[in-house]
A and B are shown apart, each in its own frame.
Chain A
Amino acid sequence: MDKAKTIVNVGISDLNVVKAPNVIRTSGLGSCVGVVIYDLYEKVAGLAHIMLPDSKFSRQANFNPYKYADTAIPILIEKLYSLGARANLLQAKLAGGSQMFQFSDSDVMRIGPRNVEAVKYILKEERIPIISKDVGGNRGRTIEFDPRTGLLMVRSVNQEPFYI
C-alpha cells in the first residue's frame, strides 16, 4: 500500500513543494522558521526554511527571495497553486524561531521570535490559518510533513519526536 515515498529535503534559505505520497522535511532549524503550507484535499504541501523576517533590510542588490519571510511565502503559495492547491483550502503549520544563544539585548539577536512574528503576519495577510505551531525556546528542530495526513513531525535533541 505504501508506494515508494521520497523524502524531499529543503536546505537553509530554500523552499520546495511535494505531492503525496512524498513527504517534505528540513533539518536543524534554529532561529530559522520552517513554514509548511498545505492543501489536505489535494494532498500537496510546500515548505520554506526562512532565515530572516523582512527583505526590506537586505543589503544585497540581488538577494535570494527564499531567505526572507515576506518574499518566500508568496513564492511558496504560487508553487502550491501550480501543483493543484486551491487558495481557500490552504492551511499552515510552523516550527522553529528559537534563540539558540542567550545574547543579552540587541534586537538583531532576537531574530527567532521576530521570524515567527513576520511569518504569522504574512500568513494573516494571505488569509491562511495557522493550524498548529511549535516555536520558541532554545532548541534546534528537524521537521517533516506528510501531505497525506497533514501531520508535522517535530524532532529535537533528547526528545521523542512528536506530531503537531
Chain B
Amino acid sequence: MKSYEFSSEQLDVLREIGNIGAGNAATSMSELINKRVHMDVPSVNIVTFDEMTEIVGGPEQLIVAMYFRIHGETPASVYFILTIEEAESLVKHMIPDQSIDLLNEQPNEMVISALKEVGNIMTGSYLTALSDFMNVNLQSSIPYLNIDMAGALLTAGLIELLHISDYVIVIDTEIKQDQTNNGLKGHFFLLPDLDSFPKIFQALGIHSNG
C-alpha cells in the first residue's frame, strides 16, 4: 500500500466526521456528568505507532484506555482514552460513595462497569452520529478496558492493521470539560481500517482516488 495522501477535500471530510461524531459524544457526556463538555476541532493524523503514543504523552504514559472494534460497512477501531485523574473524577461523579485509587489498586467491578458505561455511551453516540451522517451501518463491540502504559495499550487493538501498514490514520478529538486545561480531558481516536477510507469518501460523495 502506498503512502496515504489525502486531498484537502478528503481531509475536510475526515475532520467533519470527527466533528459530527465527537459533537454528539460530547453532548452525551455533558448529560452524563451534568456539566458542559467542550471539544476541540478534530485533527487527522497520519502517524507511526511511536508518534501515536506521543499524542497521549509517550509510550510509558499511564492511561485508562477503552478499545472498541467497529463492525459494519466501514470497519474501524476506536480508542477512548482518559488520564488516571480524569477517569477517577468521572467515576466519582457517577458513584459518589465509591473510594477510588486507580493508580495503586486493582479497580473493583463497580468502577470497571462505570468506566465501561462511559465508554459505551461516548462510543455509541459517536457512532450513531457517524452512521446517520454517512448512511452506513456500524456496530460496536463490547468495550475492552485496561489501565497501563500507552505504548502497550495503543498497539494492542491494531494488530490487523500492522500487516498492511507502518502508519495509522487517527481522527483524534480532544474532549474537555472547559476551555482551560483543567477538569475532564479525554481523547477519542477513530481509526478506520484502510479499506474503509474509499467507502467513507464514496458515502459522502467524494472521489477517493485523489
Contacts and interface: CB of A to CB of B under 8 A. Distances in A.
Interface string A87-106: 00000000000111111000
Given A12-B151, A98-B152, A101-B67, A31 B163 contact: no
Contacts of B153: 30, 100-101, 140
B47 to A, nearest CB: 11
A11 B52 CA distance: 12
Interface residues of B, number: 32
Nearest to A52: B162
B148 interface: yes
Interface stretch (A57-65, A71-79, A125-133): A57-65
Interface residues of A, number: 34
B148 A100 contact: yes
B100 to A, nearest CB: 15
Contacts of A27: 58-60, 149, 151
Contacts of B31: none
Nearest to B146: A100
Contacts of A63: 166
A52 B162 CA distance: 8
Interface in B133-165: 144-153, 155-157, 159-160, 162-165
Contacts of B55: none
Interface in A8-41: 11-13, 27-32
A32 B160 CA distance: 14
B60 A101 contact: no
**In this complex, which of B1, B62, B144, B156 has the most chain A Cβ atoms within 10 angstroms of its Cβ?**
B156
A12 B62 contact: no
A158 B62 CA distance: 10
Majority-rule SS of A interface residues: loop
Nearest to B69: A103
Interface string B84-108: 0000000000000000000110000
Given A13-B49, A100-B146, A31 B156 contact: yes
Contacts of A52: 159, 162-163
Contacts of A11: 48-50
Contact of B156 (A100, A142, A157): A100
B159 A157 contact: no
A142 B60 contact: yes
A43 interface: no
Contacts of B146: 100-101, 138
**In this complex, which of A31, A64, A138 has the most chain B Cβ atoms within 10 angstroms of its Cβ?**
A31
Interface in B23-64: 48-50, 53, 58-60, 62
Contacts of A98: 152
A-B pairs, top 3 by smallest CB distance, nearest first, are A28-B151, A140-B152, A30-B152
29 contacts: A11-B48, A11-B49, A12-B50, A12-B151, A27-B149, A28-B53, A28-B149, A29-B151, A30-B148, A31-B152, A31-B156, A31-B159, A51-B49, A52-B162, A59-B164, A60-B165, A67-B162, A100-B148, A101-B156, A102-B144, A108-B160, A109-B159, A139-B148, A140-B148, A140-B153, A142-B60, A142-B149, A157-B62, A157-B147
Interface of A: 11-13, 27-32, 51-52, 57-60, 63-64, 67, 98-103, 108-109, 111, 138-142, 157-158
Given A12-B59, A60-B163, A139-B148, 12 more contacts: A28-B53, A30-B148, A30-B155, A31-B152, A57-B163, A58-B163, A59-B164, A67-B166, A140-B152, A142-B59, A142-B149, A158-B103
